[in-house]
Structure 1
Amino acid sequence: MITTARWNPDAIVFNSWQQYGTPSYWMQKFFRESSGATIHPITISSSYSDSLAASAITWHDDENSILRVKIVNFGPDAVSLTFSATGLQGSINALGSTATVLTSGSVMDENSFANPNKVVPVMIELRNAAEEMEVTLPPHSLSAFDLALAQSRLVAEM
């Protein structure tokens, strides 16, 4: 008899030959990736403000500086909004900017051994990335907008 290891809450489920990440695992991965970041103030002004939570940070990996805007839509409706990034050290570079969305058709959806990728993040390139952007947030979703920051001329000349 093969048993599956389960804890409450699970982040990763495994047995002796398979494993998969739960939606909670993927959400935690979003927040782990940008340690050592600088937090920026953010304001949400929307009729859906009660169903949204957001944060903005800048962080640096080995090659890039990135502005990451994370927005959670707790509500059952898609939300269209505009966000503006001001006061940055550099401008937004569409090349290298991405959006990653974690959502599913139902808030009760889970991954399983039969369908380990039912709820996983989906990344797309943001060809229209700019200091001001219109975005649509799916219902019951976590969206991360990673906006590549172009180096300012002063920094690039050093």
Structure 2
Amino acid sequence: MASYAPLFVNANDRKWNPDAIVFNANKVYGTPSYWVQYLFRESSNGAAFLQSHLQTTDPTSLAASAILCKNPQNNKTTLKIKVANMGNDQVNLKISVMGFAPSSNLTESTVTVLTSINALDENTFSDPRKVVPKRSPFQRAGKEMNVTIPPISLTVFDLL
């Protein structure tokens, strides 16, 4: 389960800034914090956390997890690897997967990245999609993957 509080804030009565969804009389947008919660709730139903190891020279700027979950709509099993890079530099990462064979149909595997050039970037009513997740096909899915994690980002690999 994932939760977030406070969740909603009226733009005309904004007393503090950790809210996830901002609204006024006729518009609404999600903050970057909302999108982080969205990416984590996307895979929380019946997921099994997997043993994983992250070897890094800077453990304060990188965090990762791996879960196995089943999509209730199509009954497909997905390995989700989430990597948060809190640092200001991109990270080249080698991901090794043991005991799970990605689908031979690699076009079904995806990577979703939530990032922005500036760590202080926020969405606004005039630019509600400034910081939103961007999903694309991940063609390099396999047992050994060399990936680049952008600075100040959350990256989610969905391997079928």
TM bucket (normalised to shorter chain) is 0.7 to 0.9
Give the alignment's Cα RMSD to 1 decimal. 1.5
- Is the Cα–Cα contact under 8 Å of residues 5 and 13 in structure 1 kept in the other structure? no
Structure 1 residue 83 and structure 2 residue 83: aligned? no
SS state at 2:34 partner = helix
| Long gaps (5+) in structure 1 | 149-158
Q: For residues 83 and 32 of structure 1, what CA distance do their matches in structure 2 show?
A: 23
Matched pairs, number: 145
When Rg is computed on C-alpha atoms for both structures, the one with the higher figure is 1
Q: CA deviation at 1:8?
A: 4.0
Q: For residues 110 and 149 of structure 2, what CA distance do their matches in structure 1 show?
A: 14
Structure 1 residue 127 and structure 2 residue 122: aligned? no
Length-normalised TM-score, structure 1: 0.86
| Long gaps (5+) in structure 2 | 1-9
Identity score, percent: 48
Question: Which is further off, 20-29 or 128-137?
Answer: 128-137
Length-normalised TM-score, structure 2: 0.85
Question: Which is further off, 7-16 or 94-103?
Answer: 7-16
- Is the Cα–Cα contact under 8 Å of residues 11 and 22 in structure 2 kept in the other structure? no
Q: CA deviation at 1:76?
A: 0.6
1:37 pairs with 47, 68, 72, which one? 47
* Runs of 4+ more than 4 Å apart: none
Q: CA deviation at 1:132?
A: 1.2
**What pairs with 1:105-120 in structure 2 (closer than 5 Å)?**
105-120=117-132
